[in-house]
Every structure is written in C-alpha cells, then in structure tokens.
Amino acid sequence: MKKTGLYFGSFNPIHIGHLAIANYMIEFSSDLDHIWFVISPQNPLKKRSTLLANHHRLHLAELAIGNDPELKVSDIEFNLPRPSYTIDTLTYLEERYPTNRFALIMGADNLSTISKWKNHDLLLKKYEIYVYPRPGYPADQIGTDKNILENAKIHIVDAPLMEISSNFIRTSLKKGKNIRYFLPPKVFEYIREMHFYEK
C-alpha cells in the first residue's frame, strides 16, 4: 500500500519553500512514497478575496512540479462541496484510491489551530500528521491544547525553517520587486506573463 502525504494549501502562488518542504519530507524525514499538493479552492479560515483563480493556481503548481515522479498536483477539492473540509476530502480520497494510505503534511501554524477544524478529533485519531516548523511556531512548542493531541500520530519533522510565504511573494510582486529566485523558473515566467498579483 502506497503511503501518500497530502500537502493542502491555497498555493497562492506555489514557491520554492513549498517545494523544499516536500523534497525534505520525501528524502530525509519520512516513510512517504509520494506527496500530493492538494490545491484548496477555499480555506474556511481564510478570506477568499486574495485568491488567484483555481485554474491558475493549479497550472502554476503543475509548472512547478513538472515531471517529478514523487510529486503530484491534485484538484480533487475543486469538485467537492464548499467550503472544503479536510476530513471530507480524506474520506472521498480513501474511497477513490483504496490502495493508498493517506497522511497529512502541515506547518506548525496550522496544527496550532486544528481544534477549529471540522471533526478534528476523528482526523487526529485516524491519520498520521507530519509537521514542519513555521516562523513563530516552533514545531516542538505546538501552541494548541495538549489534550487534543494526546492520542494523535504526529511526526515533528526537523525541516529547514522557511521564511518565505505566499503573502510575501504577492506583496513583493505588487511593489514591482524582482523575486525570480523565490519561485520556480516556469512559475515566475507565467506570473510575469499574466501580470498576476501586480495590482
């Protein structure tokens, strides 16, 4: 049975930090066979107004990953009821891909708010979670109710701390900054060609 890590996110846009985390998870710190970047159409905890259109974020992720056999881009949530809830997506994926065993990949900032997630108790009980550090959220000092995590299968991953964020990318582009080395080359070129995030 293949073990697949699900890396959920808006990826607005995808950047080198996302790819570095995925690469680290595969090569250094886990028993994951594959990682799927699950592009979220709407995060219930985020404002939708800042999101680039679904098909553009999907295309940017596909450009970033290219032909890497260990990585995949998934638009599975585009066709599910909205807002998207992780537990519902996982249930659907298990039915559709019965030979895969799914685990979650998330930053420590997301884990700190997991008590707000739909059916978080079932999520923590049933699925392994691989947690990487985020600025202001050291993975070894998870800021959520310890009782919630008591029986969870959480793997703290000593991945490099990535100071890059999609918000930084968007803000920099709006200011007219050249940030080509923060993005995969094809992603940078497509964003520049389409004039994304300039206004």
* pTM attached to this predicted model: 0.91
pLDDT at 145: 58
Low-confidence ranges of the chain (pLDDT < 70): 42-49, 138-147
* Segments making up each domain of the chain, as ranges: 2-164
pLDDT at 29: 75
- Based on the number of CB atoms within 10 Å of its own CB, is 32 exposed (0-12), middle (13-18) or buried (19 or more)? buried
Sheet with 71-74: list strands edge to edge.
71-74, 34-39, 2-9, 100-107, 128-132, 153-156
pLDDT, one tens digit per residue, over 123-161 is 999 999 999 988 887 655 665 556 677 778 999 898 988
pLDDT at 188: 98
Question: What are 83-87's contacts with CB under 8 Å, separation 24+?
Answer: 83/42, 83/43, 83/44, 84/40, 84/41, 84/42, 84/43, 84/44, 85/44, 85/117, 85/118, 85/119, 86/8, 86/117, 86/118, 86/123, 87/117, 87/118, 87/119, 87/122, 87/123
- Identify the CATH homologous superfamily for domain 2-164: HUPs (3.40.50.620)
pLDDT at 42: 65
pLDDT at 65: 98
* Structure tokens, 167: 């918000």
Q: What is the largest CA-CA distance in the chain?
A: 49
pLDDT at 135: 85
